[in-house]
Amino acid sequence: MKQVNDDRALRQKIFQLQAEICKALGNPTRMAIVDRLGVGEIAAADLIAGLGISKANLSKHMTILVHSGIVESRRDGRQILYRLIDSEIRKACAVMSSVLYRRLKRGERLASAIDMVKAS
């Protein structure tokens, strides 16, 4: 019985950690940041310019991404550079995009079916 409780507690901890990553990615700006970092290390100034956000806004989002273990930073002189800690996050985002694409396609089929019913 103790083994079952230990396994349950371990699974709960894993789910909690997964939820923290999903929560960190649960913002369009942070998703855009991760997308841009998918090509490699980028300077904060380039992210600010590319995303059209303020330095303070980038800092807020990067704090969340860094604390969640998705992004890390390093200083090079006066520049701060960011990169993804694990490139697998790109695969996770690609899976989400695929799910979204299939959902939208199902919605298109439903809309087409409704249009056909209305036209009858």
Distance CA 80, CA 104 (A): 38
Residues 38 and 91 in one domain: no
Residues 18 and 58 in one domain: yes
Q: In this model, does residue 118 exceed pLDDT 80? A: no
The percent of residues in the chain predicted with pLDDT above 90, rounded, is: 68
Residue with tokens 């995009």: 97
Mean pLDDT of 102-110: 84
Stated pTM of the model: 0.81
pLDDT recorded at residue 119: 78
Residues 94 and 82 in one domain: no
Q: In this model, does residue 111 exceed pLDDT 80? A: no
Q: In this model, does residue 109 exceed pLDDT 90? A: no
SS (H, E, C) 53-74: CCHHHHHHHHHHHHHCCCEEEE
Residues 40 and 99 in one domain: no
Residues 72 and 57 in one domain: yes
More confident residue, 3 or 58: 58
Residues 76 and 19 in one domain: yes
Q: In this model, does residue 25 exceed pLDDT 80? A: yes
Length of the chain: 120
Full residue range of the structural domain in which residue 62 is found: 2-86
Question: In terms of C-beta distances under 8 Å and separation of at least 24 residues, what long-range contacts does 16-22 make, across chains too?
Answer: 20/68, 21/68, 21/69, 21/70
Residues 82 and 43 in one domain: yes
Mean pLDDT score of the chain: 92
Residues 67 and 96 in one domain: no
